[in-house]
Amino acid sequence: MVEGRFGRGDPVEVADEAGRVLGQGLTRYDAADAERIKRLRSDQIEAVLGYPARGPLMHRDDMAF
């Protein structure tokens, strides 16, 4: 689920499906693009967004739990 408004590079909370916050991370996409690409593999993102992918929505190196 993608909730709220955020821009590329903003810190966002990472939560499980029950809504429990697991940690935080920096996102590589804004909220609108994140909604469009959620659950896609990185190699599918360009076809949906129309520009080269920046990698996963949030890279593990940009996460803290």
pLDDT for residue 1: 84
Q: From CA 28, how far away is CA 19, in angstroms rounded?
A: 21
Please, what are the domains in the chain?
11-64 (2.30.130.10)
Q: What is the pTM of this model?
A: 0.82
**Helix runs in the chain, H state only:** 31-37, 42-49
Task: Read off the pLDDT of residues 2-51 as tens digits, 9 standing for 90 and up.
Answer: 999 999 999 999 999 999 999 999 999 999 999 999 999 989 999 999 99
Question: Angle 44-46-48 (CA atoms, 0-180°, nearest 5)?
Answer: 75
